[in-house]
Amino acid sequence: MNTQHLCPVYTKWLQLNPIDARKHRHFLQDSMQKARLQGQLDKACTLAYQTLEAAKLVLTALQNVSNQNVLNHKDNSVREDIISYSAAGMYLSSLLHCSDNSQEAHNVLQQCQQQLIAVLPLHATNHTILALIKTAMHAFEQSSLLLVNNKLANNGAVNGNSDSGHSVGSSSASKRIHRANNRLSLVH
């Protein structure tokens, strides 16, 4: 997976301004969903990569915390960041799968899971955030396994009957895109 989908200067600015990065992430999510609904799968994939990168920047940005009210707000922001990052990863993976790029979809899921593992120690004392990260990691793992199993099933179907294997995969991928789209809508 190419990790540079946003301009490097803009990426640095987003890292230094996580509030603006959140706004940019929301804008990208909306644009991505509109492109998908208009049937522009390539544009939706490009925007999904950018959304995932913006979500990752927000997730990994160092943020200043000073008092209890800020801590409670930060917990809500961190939850939203984790959910947005996870939903963007799932959505991108689903789009890639629909584009018959199962290997890249699998790579996206694995890299998202690895990123969550990397931020896990930062939230080790917050059990709510910790549980959310573990749930997201489990979802990435399950989706990854489904992709692998679907690929194996499609390969078996291709060997037996190529038409029926492809339609099963497309239906399954469409359902995953719909679920990911619903998750992204819940984040807003």
Question: Is residue 2, in this structure, part of any structural domain at all?
Answer: no
Q: Residue 49 corresponds to which amino acid?
A: Y
> Across the chain, how many H-helices and E-strands are there?
7, 0
Q: Whole-number mean pLDDT of the chain?
A: 80
Average pLDDT over residues 36-57: 93
How many Å separate Cα 126 from the centre of its chain?
22
Q: pLDDT tens digits for 96-150? A: 998 888 899 999 999 999 999 999 998 888 889 999 999 999 999 998 888 877 7
Separation between Cα atoms, residue 79 and residue 51, nearest integer Å? 17
- Cβ atoms within 10 A of the Cβ of 36, count? 22
Separation between Cα atoms, residue 151 and residue 157, nearest integer Å? 10
Question: Is residue 86, in this structure, part of any structural domain at all?
Answer: yes
Q: Residue 52 corresponds to which amino acid?
A: L
* Greater pLDDT, 151 or 72: 151
Q: pLDDT tens digits for 81-94? A: 999 999 999 999 99
Structural domains of the chain, count: 1
Question: Is residue 1, in this structure, part of any structural domain at all?
Answer: no
Comparing C-alpha atoms, which of 178, 185, 187, 186 is closest to residue 36?
178
Which range of residues forms the domain containing residue 30? 8-187
Phi, psi of 125, rounded to the nearest 5 degrees? -90, -10
Question: Is residue 176, in this structure, part of any structural domain at all?
Answer: yes
pLDDT at 18 over 50: yes
Question: Is residue 28, in this structure, part of any structural domain at all?
Answer: yes
pLDDT at 10 over 70: yes
Q: pLDDT tens digits for 102-117? A: 899 999 999 999 999 9
Question: Is residue 174, in this structure, part of any structural domain at all?
Answer: yes
Comparing C-alpha atoms, which of 156, 145, 153, 150 is closest to residue 172?
150
pLDDT at 3 over 80: no
- For 151, counting Cβ atoms within 10 Å of its Cβ (0-12 exposed, 13-18 middle, 19+ buried), the class is middle
Question: Is residue 88, in this structure, part of any structural domain at all?
Answer: yes
Question: Is residue 47, in this structure, part of any structural domain at all?
Answer: yes
Contact between 86 and 134 (Cβ < 8 Å): no
Enter the pTM of the model: 0.76
